[in-house]
Amino acid sequence: MRVLVTGGCGFIGANLVPRLAAAGWQVRVLDNEILGHRDHLDGFAGEFVHGDIRDPAALDLALDGVDAVVHLAADTRVIESIADPVFNFDVNVVGSFRLIEAMRARGIRRLVNASTGGAIIGDATPPVHEGMVPNPIAPYGATKLAVEGLCSAWSGSYGFSALSLRFANVYGPRSYHKGSVVAAFFRRIAEGQPLIVHGDGEQVRDFVFVDDLCDGIMSGIAHEQSGVLQLGSGVPVSVNALIDAMRQVVAPERIDVEYRPARTGEIERTWCDVSRARAVLGYAPDTSLADGLARTWAWFRARRDG
């Protein structure tokens, strides 16, 4: 199996690519290295293409001879998408369209697309699941829903095996540059700064460890499914409970918290039902929050002290 990973230098890609290579798959990475860098891949020996998913020349090089694509490249920042929806649309929708059209031109019809759960469903009574009516409340969620629509249409019209995986809040090692909550909190702890919480901290999220998520992605490639599946832990955790769990992990280091007003476009409560992914992919997110946080903090601490 020859696999292209777009956005492979990002946090999830940096965890996924070495695992794909270790499993014996031939891996090529396409990344513009704006947010990630090839050095994050820990000596990855496969092929690397420096380029953007919106660039036809880069897609020509990256797609040559591959059998399947894992599409991770995206602008995933919710608040920034509100400030600049044009850029978010260009990267996520236009870039994805150019990718799948370039795949179609080459007869490559096996795609695993990274999507999102809560941002697509919007404010709804959790747990969110694949049968819910989408109602995004920020441009980011709208663009990811649009890409899911492209995947569905290309499956129906052109025989693609296109599976969109709706990720929950992913955390784990190699996430120092990420703006997601666990990475942002551990980064501030490592730098001796207070944690910033927008709202009262009772907002609820689903936190999934990156190794569990990578298992789901690899299973998605192998199963050749189409449609949409939720990937998360299935466990609701408030931000305040997350901070309490972090205190146990980082002790005796001190954690101070600064609460600020809630931000427009952020969902109050969301977690996901992963039962369909369990049935279809054999997905088994069995890393506890305590264990996942301990492994993540060990990586952050080694990076700080090394």
d(CA 193, CA 254): 10
- The pTM (predicted TM-score) of the whole model is 0.95
CA 96 to CA 61: how far, in whole Å? Answer: 16
Q: pLDDT in tens for each of the 306 residues of the chain?
A: 899 999 999 999 999 999 999 999 999 999 999 988 888 887 788 999 999 999 999 999 999 999 999 999 999 888 899 999 999 999 999 999 999 999 999 999 999 999 998 889 988 899 999 999 999 989 999 999 999 999 999 999 999 999 999 999 999 999 988 888 999 999 999 999 999 999 999 999 999 999 999 999 999 999 989 999 999 999 999 999 999 999 999 999 889 999 999 988 788 899 999 999 999 999 999 999 999 999 999 999 998 886
Q: Which of the following is catalytic: 140, 158, 176, 259?
A: 140
- What is the third-level CATH fold of 2-170+209-232+272-285? Rossmann fold (3.40.50)
Domain residue ranges of the chain, discontinuous segments joined by +: 2-170+209-232+272-285
Dist CA 287 CA 123 (whole Å) = 27
Could you tell me which of 262, 13, 230 has the C-alpha nearest to residue 126? 230
For 246, the 3-state DSSP assignment is helix
Question: Cβ(299)–Cβ(171) under 8 Å?
Answer: no
Q: Are 169 and 180 in contact (CB under 8 A)?
A: yes
Active site residue 140: yes
Instruction: Provide the strand spans (E) within the chain.
Output: 2-6, 26-31, 47-50, 68-71, 110-116, 161-167, 169-171, 195-198, 204-209, 227-231, 236-238, 257-260
